[in-house]
Every structure is written in C-alpha cells, then in structure tokens.
A and B are shown apart, each in its own frame.
Chain A
Amino acid sequence: MKSWMKSAALASLCLLPAFAMAAGAIDGEVKKQATNWTAIIMFLLFVSGTLYITYWAARRTQSASDFYTGGGGITGFQNGLAIAGDYMSAASFLGISAMVFEKGYDGLIYSMGFLVGWPIILFLVAERLRNLGKFTFADVASYRLQQTPVRTFAATGTLVVVALYLIAQMVGAGKLIQLLFGLDYSTAVILVGVLMVMYVMFGGMLATTWVQIIKAVILLSGASFMAFMVMASVGFSPEALFQKATEVHAKGVAIMSPGKADPIDSISLGLALMFGTAGLPHILMRFFTVSNAKEARKSVFYATGFIGYFYILTFIIGFGAIVLVLNQPAFMETIVKDGKQVTQLLGGNNMAAIHLSHAVGGDLFYGFISAVAFATILAVVAGLTLSGASAVSHDLYASVIKKGKANEKDEMRVSKLTTLALGVIAIVLGLVFEKQNIAFMVGLAFSIAASANFPVLFLSMFWKGLTTRGAVIGGAIGLVSAVVMIILGPAVWVDVMGHAKGSAPFPYKNPALFSMSLAFFFTWLFSVLDTSKSAAEEKAKFDAQFVRSMTGIGASGASKH
C-alpha cells in the first residue's frame, strides 16, 4: 500500500494527463495491493460484531411479531437512525457521490429528490400508517378491503420493488469487494447473499435494525471525516473547492450548473423520488417497529435530519473526489469499451468515494470506509430481504393462502424459507446485472413504488370511496405501466437492449409522471364504477378506520417480552 501512496503523491506533483498512463501496469499493481489487511480486519470486525448481534437477537426472536417488528419496542430515535441506515444505501453513498463526481451539480439535484419525500411521509402517512398497520403496509391497504386480492397485489408490488433495489445493492457490493479484496465479482456477490440471509433468517427485525443503526453511525462518522478532510484541504472555503474542481474536471465550469434536462423527465423523476419513498415496502415496514404514532413521528424527524446531513456530505465528497482523485494515476485505469480505449476511475465511477477515502486518510481510513460501504450494503439488503420475506409469509401465506388462520410456527418457517430463496435470487440477479449504473437502478425501483404501492396506500387512508376493485385494477395498471414504460424507454430499450439511440418507443427515462397518473385515475374510475354490495360495505367501514387512524384507538402496541 505504501507504494500506492507514493505513486499518488508523485502523480499529484506532475498531474499527468490521464491518457498517458500505462493501463496494464496500474491495473495489475492495484489488484495485488488490493489485499489490504486493514480493510479485511475492519470488515471482519464488523461482520463478527453483527453476527454476535444476530445471535443475541435470535434468542429474542420467538414470535412472528418479533420477527417482523423486533417486538415493536424500538424508540423513535433508534428507528430514525435505522431508517436513515435503510435509506443511505450503497446507491446513495457510492452512486450519488459518483454522480457528483461525474456531473457535479446534477448529483445534488438527485439527492434533493430523495430527501423531500420524507416531510410528505411525516405530514400525511406516518401516523396513520402506524395506527392502522401491524407488520406490513399491506395491513393498511387491505384494512377495510378484501384481503386476498389486495394483499396479493401489495405483495407483488413489494417483491418487484425489493428485487430491483436488491439488484442495485448486490452490484454495488460485488464491485466494492472486487476492488477491496481482489476477489471475483461472483464470489463477492455470493458472500453478501450468504451474510444477509444469516442476519435476517436468524435475527429477524431486531438484528436487522441494529445492523442498520450501527451502519448508520459508522457511515455518518466516516463521511463526516471525509468531508472535513476535503474542506480542510481547501482551507474550508467552498469557493476554493469549486474553483479547483472546475479546473481539473473535463466539463469545466459546467459542473457548477444543472445540466440539460428534459422538463417532463425532471418532473417525472421528482415525482418518483418523492412519492416512491412513501411506497418503499422496507421503509414503510420500519414504522411498525415503534410503539406508537408519537414515536413514528419522531423517527421521521430524526431520519430527515440524518439523511439531509448525509446528502450534504456526499456533495462535498463528490467534489472532493474531483479535486483529490480525478486524474491521479494511482486511481485511474484504462479499459476497452465498445472497441475504444476509455480512461476511467479504477473500478468505475461508483468507486469515487472509496478512492477519496484513501487520498484523505491513507490505508487505515481506506480500510475503514471500505468496511463501512460494505456494511452499508449488508444492512440495506438485510432490510430489503426482511421486507420481501414478510410480504410472502405474512401477506401471501398467512393471509391469502391460510386466510388468516396460519399457525405462527408455520408462518415463521415460511418467512425463513423465503429469506433463503430471496438470498439465492439476489445472488443470481446480482450476477446478471453486473454492468448497470447502480444509482439508476434504484430510480427504477422508486418509479414502481410511486406508481403501484403509493397510490393504493394513500387512497386507502384518505379516500372513503376506494374499493377493492379500484385498488387492485388501478394499482396493477400503475405497476404494469411503470414496468412497460421503463422497458420501452431509453434506459432499457437503448442502454440494455442495445437499440439505436433515440429509437425508444417511450421517450422518457422516468415514467412516474404518467404511470402514477394512470394509477390514480384508474383506481378512482374503477372504485366509482364499483356498485357491488361489497363495495358499499367497504365504504361503510371507512369511518371506523378513520377514527383509528387519527386517534390510535385499537392500534397494535408493542408486544411484551
């Protein structure tokens, strides 16, 4: 590692243009050095610590309620940290800092969208959700509607979102460990899959929550230190930081302004990010881990603070990477892409934050941040897996198949088997989607969450007229239209399937504006047209639901141990 530092120092002296580097030599050299013992030790420390927590949590996870909600006794502050831990995914940390590194200001725009959904969740959703639900958001959506169709729909929405989100995380994990250990991408992905299954299967929500809290604390500390060091290197003057960045970046001063964006696409992305957050099943599930609406509310307040602070840090980190990492030979490699030689950041742009950690803190801190990034991925995939497993065991198995009469032991067994199955699926998908931009994959998950889960959840709590038929048909239209528009849009049609640029049948990258509108419209239409007897009964049950959602009378409390 010392020679790496030396070459970095040398490089900063002569500022060689990136293309002048001998690619093969640097590639080989770095791979060898990648067996970084500091990083490995820190990573092993984290893994053994979290496995100990899992062991501790496993003894406290007896009932279904323990498995799904950790017993429901987590405090607002703890849950706020855990939500932040859930939300500050690898896509946020690595993806957004990479976006800032690549495009400058546009990265900040993206992170704003991720944040502004939180106040809306608090003002409109959090308390009602806590007062009405028990384990999953489907509990709320199906509160006064028919269990079988609504839960089947909600579970489908959950699993699609979870699968997309998992892909992004697994790809991030694979690349990170590949760089850190010099392991094969596939070995890395399998390792993540195995650990995530262990956390969730044995430790349930309690282990998942603590993994998230620990990860949130170390991620925020690590990112704070990096941002501090970046600012220290420019004498704590933002202007000096931006000045230096514009001097070395290929796009020059353009990184300080928003790039060219289609208005429709921008609005559509904004909707997806804002309302998608309120439709993410693994996030919604966190509201059931606290004892009451008051704690639910506090969770969002703390989470918003931590997440907002974190996004400001990623912005500084992205710019720091431009100044301290870009064009430094030690951090660059030349690869052959589409028959052309391209010089890029070692391991791709998603590694910007990781390389920066080495530039500002040396081997020890590089090891720490690598372990943190890995912990980040593990925590998020654990939360996702738990949410997917709950959708299958609580919504599909216990409510749909067993009609609410499932034996608790069987339900637990199903959730654990599902966890195992999801682990295998995550590994396979992680291998298939190796070459995608991970921040963008999360964007897709958000579009679907905003178009399928959110409209149904929102209307079930706010609109008396919602009926089963409206919810299922409208929600399904939202889900299908979001998926179809993504496939026919440039992101998949051109970038994945390799059709010519500009040939995509659907012109926008972000479908949420259209798919969300379709979902709301058809949910309304089919509810209004539904004159069946069951529809009348469902509407009649709204008043009782409303009183419970506002006052919390009858809401499920924390289970006792």
Chain B
Amino acid sequence: MNEDILKRVQANPKFAELVQKRSSLGWLLSIVMLAIYYGFILVLAFSPATLGASLSGGVTTVGIPVGIFIIVSAFVLTGIYVRKANTEFDQLNQQIVEEAKK
C-alpha cells in the first residue's frame, strides 16, 4: 500500500466510522460470549449444586438446558456479527476502498 492511499484512507471519516462500529460490535459480542461462558465456569467452580439441581423433579438437571443454551448462543452470536458485517460494514468498506483509489 502506498503512502497516498494510506493517508487518504486514514483521513476518510468513513474509515473512523468503520473502525468504531466494527470494533465496538466485535468487542461487545466477545464480552457477551465471555460473560456467558465464564459465568457458567464460575457457577461450575463455586456452586456446582446449582447445575446439578433437578429441572422439574426428574433426573434431568438444570445443567442440561444451560449447556444447550451456551452451544446455541455461540452460533447465534456469530450469526449476528456476520449479518451485520456482510451488509453494513462491507458496504462502508467498499466505499472506503473506492474513495481511496481516486
């Protein structure tokens, strides 16, 4: 990448917007995922009985739906990010790349 293109991209307010939007969504979703997973690990470590409690009187424990929820949440969170990135971020990025070439 030559200096001119670099300077034009950096000077483009859309670049700042892209960086801001993409980073904040990325970090936000990362924190949500980390909170869900480490929340689970902490319950596991300090109060395993909570997860071992019966769900509705039978042998199925609370831990089972919680486990399924964590697996599904990982998939849903990636879906949210990809949807947002493929539409909004990519459009913005496309504009930045084109404006830098002029």
Given contacts A119-B30, A312-B68, A551 and B78 within 8 Å (CB-CB): no
In the complex, A109 Cα to B68 Cα: how many Å? 10
- A257 touching B48 by the CB < 8 A rule? yes
Q: Which residues of A contact B29 (CB under 8 A)?
A: 119, 123
**Per-residue 0/1 for A292-321: is the Cβ within 8 Å of any B Cβ (1 yes, 0 no)?**
001001101100110010011001000000
In the complex, A298 Cα to B68 Cα: how many Å? 23
In the assembled complex, the CB of B14 is this many whole angstroms from the nearest CB of chain A, namely 10
Given contacts A543-B10, A550-B22, A116 and B33 within 8 Å (CB-CB): yes
Q: Determine which of A111, A239, A270, A311 lies in contact with B41 in the assembled complex, contact meaning CB atoms within 8 Å.
A: A270
- B37 touching A274 by the CB < 8 A rule? yes
- B72 touching A308 by the CB < 8 A rule? yes
Given contacts A112-B40, A298-B82, A304-B78, A120 and B33 within 8 Å (CB-CB): yes
In the complex, A109 Cα to B44 Cα: how many Å? 9
- A294 touching B90 by the CB < 8 A rule? yes
Q: How large is the interface on B (under 10, 10 to 19, 20 to 34, 35 or more residues)?
A: 35 or more
Residue in chain A with minimal CB distance to B26: A123
Q: Which residues of B contact A311 (CB under 8 A)?
A: 71
- A256 touching B60 by the CB < 8 A rule? yes
Q: Which residues of A contact B18 (CB under 8 A)?
A: 550-551
Q: How large is the interface on A (under 10, 10 to 19, 20 to 34, 35 or more residues)?
A: 35 or more
- A550 touching B19 by the CB < 8 A rule? yes
**Per-residue 0/1 for B1-43: is the Cβ within 8 Å of any A Cβ (1 yes, 0 no)?**
1000110011000010011001001110110011011101110
- B33 touching A119 by the CB < 8 A rule? yes
**Per-residue 0/1 for A103-118: is the Cβ within 8 Å of any B Cβ (1 yes, 0 no)?**
0010011011101101
Given contacts A123-B29, A550-B22, A301 and B78 within 8 Å (CB-CB): yes
Given contacts A118-B78, A258-B52, A544 and B1 within 8 Å (CB-CB): yes
In the assembled complex, the CB of B28 is this many whole angstroms from the nearest CB of chain A, namely 9
Scoring A122, A243, A262 by chain B CB atoms within 10 A of each residue's CB, the highest score goes to: A122
In the complex, A547 Cα to B15 Cα: how many Å? 9
Q: Is A45 at the interface (CB under 8 A from chain B)?
A: no
Scoring A297, A311, A552 by chain B CB atoms within 10 A of each residue's CB, the highest score goes to: A297
In the assembled complex, the CB of B11 is this many whole angstroms from the nearest CB of chain A, namely 11
In the complex, A119 Cα to B76 Cα: how many Å? 9
Q: Is A533 at the interface (CB under 8 A from chain B)?
A: no
- B85 touching A297 by the CB < 8 A rule? yes
- B59 touching A300 by the CB < 8 A rule? no
In the complex, A220 Cα to B42 Cα: how many Å? 32
Q: Which residues of B contact A270 (CB under 8 A)?
A: 37-38, 41
Q: Which residues of B contact A301 (CB under 8 A)?
A: 78-79, 82
- B97 touching A304 by the CB < 8 A rule? no
**Per-residue 0/1 for A30-46: is the Cβ within 8 Å of any B Cβ (1 yes, 0 no)?**
00000000000000000
In the complex, A298 Cα to B87 Cα: how many Å? 12
Q: Which residues of A contact B26 (CB under 8 A)?
A: 123-124
Q: Determine which of A123, A304, A547, A548 lies in contact with B27 in the assembled complex, contact meaning CB atoms within 8 Å.
A: A123
Assuming A123-B27, A257-B63, what are 8 further A-B pairs, CB within 8 angstroms? A105-B61, A108-B64, A118-B74, A257-B61, A261-B45, A294-B86, A300-B78, A543-B10
Which residues in B have some Cβ–Cβ distance to A below 8 Å?
1, 5-6, 9-10, 15, 18-19, 22, 25-27, 29-30, 33-34, 36-38, 40-42, 44-46, 48-49, 51-52, 58-61, 63-64, 67-68, 70-72, 74-75, 77-79, 81-82, 85-86, 90, 93, 96-97, 100
Please name 10 pairs of A and B residues whose Cβ atoms are closer than 8 Å in the assembled complex, sorted by A. Answer: A116-B70, A127-B85, A253-B59, A256-B52, A263-B45, A297-B86, A298-B86, A305-B75, A315-B67, A550-B93
